[in-house]
Chains A and B, each alone.
Chain A
Amino acid sequence: MPYLSKIALNPRRRAAVSLLANPHRLHAAVLGGLATQPVTERVLWRLESNTPHRAEILVLTENRPSWQHLVEQAGWPDADGGQPLIADYAPLLQRLAVGREFAFRLTANPVQTVQRPVKPSEEQLQRMKNADTLEKRRGFRVAHRTAAQQLTWLLTRTERHGFTIPATDTGTTIDLDASTAAEAPAGPAPAVSLIARDTLRFRKGKDGPRVTLSTATFQGRLRVTDPVALQATLLGGIGPAKGYGQGMLTLAPLLQEAPHG
């Protein structure tokens, strides 16, 4: 039975700052909340930035977790509003039906695989030399960097994840770069916008290898086309870097748009 949890971290505490600075450490802390070790299940988590002065982590786990260690070290122990929320995720999974619309939010790491990078690093050049033929070699995973690419990345894979993004009611454009907005086809834009974009740079451990992730946070409206596929997506995530807080799709009720004018 899956569980959704929300843990509030106090950014004024040293332990919280350390966790928030490095997704590698935060992932370890999140996995520490599960009693069956080593953890073999798929755990999805995401850093939420809804509220100032507190950092909230959403976690989706298969088994019931315990977040006392996080609250005691990096939260507000015994404070009002400091206790983590843990809710059963099953009601939502049962509510999915074809044609139903929800608001969604997704922080993901949009990537593509290319055979020949435009500017290969030394490591990549070495690997390209070592492989005998093109067929034998694996491609290189490269992040999508522009807003337009990141948005296209999401729109091309919604169908296989069991949902579509309908057109906006108002027909307003999405926040793409000015150069790409001209190339976008006319007509109502899909009801999704990029609310945040970031590049995460951190090390695995003290002297470990560097990790660089290009992330994008999408928010909008989706319509269910395949409940079974969408269930799998909600539990399994979208895209790579799931260990680093990417790929967790969350649904929320649609709020009525505020009237304009």
Chain B
Amino acid sequence: MSGQAVLVLRLAAPLQSWGGPSRYNRRDTQPQPTKSGILGLLAAAEGRPREASLTDLLGLRLGVRVDQPGTLLRDYHTVSDHRGLALPAAKVDAKGAQKKTGPAKYTGVTQRYYLQDAVFTAAVAGPAALLQHLEHAVRHPAFPLSLGRRSCPPTGPVSLGLHPDTDLPKVLEDVPWQASAPHRARFRGAQVTVEATVEDPAGDLTATDVPDTYDLKTGTLFSQRTVRHLWISLPTGQQTTGQAADIPAGRTDLGHDPFALLGW
């Protein structure tokens, strides 16, 4: 085994939320997993405390494939005091107790966004020794793993194994389509084309999701990385041979075409 390897993760859950740099009362989700979210998952699996250094993980290159895009869920969330008192402010008085908000604010409104029923294949490339250690950690996590938020535990095993001696786009093309059965049923035909982004110094897009630390006292500052966007064709495992009598070759649409019977 040479020095490099790729660790493949399957990120599937009823809910995922990849926040990125969103803060205060509106917590967005990115349409794809962020580097911050995935490094956080790996660090949690290893059992690193929040203050621990991330410098060895920051060099890992990330590729994400969207096997099933999922849909957006907005959680409209209100917070209030059941006694009818005004909410406390961030400021404290001389005794260290929180002051009341002035003008009095009785209800706090937050909006939290989630991805529902999404499935992603994430590939992390880097030094083989480090990834071997991380692969073991993901299978034996020290802290519970979650997909972006603590309320989003993953469905099924996260690790799809370690691929030594390959590069990122190759792995994303080789790993089978991970979509769920209901999502597969919507597709006909032998091939499906999915989106992917790969971290690449020569890429033309930037993503602002590289964390400096997960320390709650200082907060996280995000820096940029360059990514490249690509499309990947994957086999669906379905046969396209239909009823040979009436179906013209190459017809895979779901719509109703009355002209198909008229010798068109």
Contact = CB atoms under 8 A, between A and B. Distances in A.
Interface of A: 4, 6, 50-51, 58, 85, 87-89, 91-92, 95, 102-103, 105, 219, 250-256, 258-261
Contacts of A260: 181, 185
Contacts of B188: 255-256, 258
B264 interface: yes
Interface string B250-264: 010011111111111
A258 B261 contact: no
Most buried by B among A88, A253, A256, A259: A253
Contacts of B257: 252
B254 A255 contact: yes
Which 4 A-B pairs rank lowest in CB-CB distance, beginning with the nearest? A253-B246, A250-B258, A256-B242, A50-B255
A4 B257 CA distance: 12
12 contacts: A6-B259, A51-B255, A87-B259, A87-B263, A92-B261, A251-B258, A252-B256, A252-B258, A255-B188, A255-B251, A256-B242, A258-B188
A4 B185 contact: no
Interface in B172-194: 181, 184-188
Contacts of B247: 253-256
Contacts of B251: 253, 255
A251 B246 CA distance: 12
B235 to A, nearest CB: 14
Interface residues of B, number: 24
Q: Specify which of A91, A219, A252 lies most central, judged by the most chain B CB atoms within 10 Å of its CB.
A: A252
A261 B181 contact: yes
B149 to A, nearest CB: 31
Contact of B262 (A92, A102, A219): A92
Interface in B5-43: none
B106 to A, nearest CB: 39
B181 A4 contact: no
Question: Counting chain A CB atoms within 10 Å of each CB, which of B187, B242, B248, B256 scores highest?
Answer: B256
Interface string B184-225: 111110000000000000000000000000000000000000
Nearest to B259: A87
B257 to A, nearest CB: 5
Given A105-B256, A255-B254, 4 more contacts: A51-B255, A254-B247, A256-B188, A258-B186
A255 B259 contact: no
B187 A258 contact: yes
Given A50-B255, A105-B256, A258-B238, A253 B261 contact: yes
Contacts of A51: 255
Contacts of A58: 258
Contacts of A91: 261-263
B247 to A, nearest CB: 5
A251 B261 contact: yes
A113 to B, nearest CB: 30
Q: Tell which of B242, B254, B255, B262 has the most Cβ of chain A within 10 Å.
A: B262
B55 interface: no
A219 B254 CA distance: 12
Contact of A252 (B184, B185, B238, B260): B260
Contact of B256 (A87, A95, A103): A103
A57 to B, nearest CB: 12
A255 B262 CA distance: 16
Given A255-B242, A258-B186, A50 B262 contact: no
Contacts of A219: 256
Given A254-B246, A255-B188, A4 B238 contact: no
Contacts of A95: 261
A87 B184 CA distance: 35
